[in-house]
């Protein structure tokens, strides 16, 4: 009897910059076979074919397919949803919520239909609210619906710390909690440079500046690009989560998960440290917070509740 097992299957919904870059990172890491789905099936098919044609040069063995038919995603192990519209000038938060809720709901329902046992990673914005939409649309347990924001915010913060200290990014360890962007909860007390606490190396006013830049990291890139938003780091962050799952690495990463009383928060998605493995969410290590950190985390949870309440008000 053969012991050969099939390759993991990773489906990415949305073939825009973030989605196609997710496919690129996943293929380059040879994490499994990849399916790229988009409402524009030819664009997804073209990008998938282009990526597959790079495999002889780069030396990765990953089958890459694309299209608009969700049947291609059947029996995926992990599905990443990047689909959704960015907020445009003149568009209110309610408009964005309404538009992306509809998109993510449809995507999630199709995912559940063809891959009822997958782990679902949400990248679409507004992230925490879209996690609630996906959870309700799929009926999945909380262990299998996880939002990507904390890995990205943490990567930005670590990058800026490395610049400030003029050291390798490999020697900076740290994380952020809470929501994405303005409600991000920085944790400089737990950030180290080569094992040395950041607070011993950098003055508080400079740390505050680094935190502020991390909070506005996405906006800084939007301002520079003029016609788009970040995609290399967001895609890389999502694929770090995918890798932890398909390789059952038991990584401790900051991710948005549905809290059930942890940190005093009930039934809301919020960014915390989680253990990620083959089953998805496999544990939530509880961190000691000081009064300031607890206050920021509470405000972050309240912001998520505001979004969820808005969706209820809009009948979403």
pLDDT tens column, 51-92: 999 999 999 999 999 999 999 999 999 999 999 987 666 666
| Calpha distance 120→216 (Å, rounded) | 27
Strand arrangement, sheet containing 33-37? 64-67, 33-37, 9-13, 78-81, 119-122, 145-147, 251-260, 266-277, 280-283
Instruction: Summarize the confidence of residues 126-153 as an average pLDDT.
Output: 96
Domains annotated on the chain, with CATH? 9-147 (3.40.50.720), 150-313 (3.90.110.10)
Specify whether 180 is catalytic: yes
Catalytic residue among 24, 180, 215, 275: 180
CB atoms within 10 A of CB 15: 28
Instruction: Summarize the confidence of residues 115-131 as an average pLDDT.
Output: 95
Does this model's pTM top 0.85? My answer is yes
Q: Tell me what pLDDT residue 85 has.
A: 87
């Amino acid at each position: 009897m053969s012991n050969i097992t099939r390759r993991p299957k990773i489906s990415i919904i949305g073939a825009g910059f973030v989605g196609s870059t997710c496919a690129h990172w996943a293929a380059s890491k040879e994490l499994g076979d990849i399916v790229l789905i988009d409402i524009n099936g030819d664009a997804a098919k073209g990008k998938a074919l282009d990526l597959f044609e790079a495999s002889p040069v780069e030396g990765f063995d990953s089958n890459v397919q694309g299209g608009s038919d969700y049947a291609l995603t059947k029996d995926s192990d992990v599905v990443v949803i990047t689909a959704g519209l960015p907020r445009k000038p003149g568009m209110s938060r309610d408009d964005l919520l309404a538009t992306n809720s509809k998109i993510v709901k449809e995507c999630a329902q199709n995912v559940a239909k063809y891959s009822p046992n997958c782990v679902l990673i949400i990248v679409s914005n507004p992230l925490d609210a879209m996690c609630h939409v996906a959870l309700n649309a799929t009926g999945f347990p909380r262990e299998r619906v996880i939002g990507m924001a904390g890995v990205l915010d943490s990567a930005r913060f670590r990058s800026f710390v490395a610049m400030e200290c003029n050291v390798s990014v490999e020697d900076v360890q740290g994380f952020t909690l809470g929501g994405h962007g303005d409600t991000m909860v920085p944790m400089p007390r737990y950030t180290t440079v080569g094992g040395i606490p950041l607070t011993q190396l950098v003055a508080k006013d400079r740390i505050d500046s680094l935190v502020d830049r991390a909070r506005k990291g996405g906006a800084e890139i939007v301002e520079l690009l003029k016609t788009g938003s970040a995609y290399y780091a967001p895609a890389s962050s999502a694929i770090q989560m995918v890798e932890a799952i398909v390789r059952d690495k038991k990584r401790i990463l900051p991710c948005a998960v549905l809290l059930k009383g942890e940190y005093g928060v009930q039934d809301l998605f919020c960014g915390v440290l989680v253990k990620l493995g083959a089953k998805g969410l496999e544990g939530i290590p509880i961190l000691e917070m000081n009064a300031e950190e607890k206050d920021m985390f509470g405000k972050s949870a309240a912001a998520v509740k505001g979004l969820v309440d808005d969706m209820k008000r809009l009948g979403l």
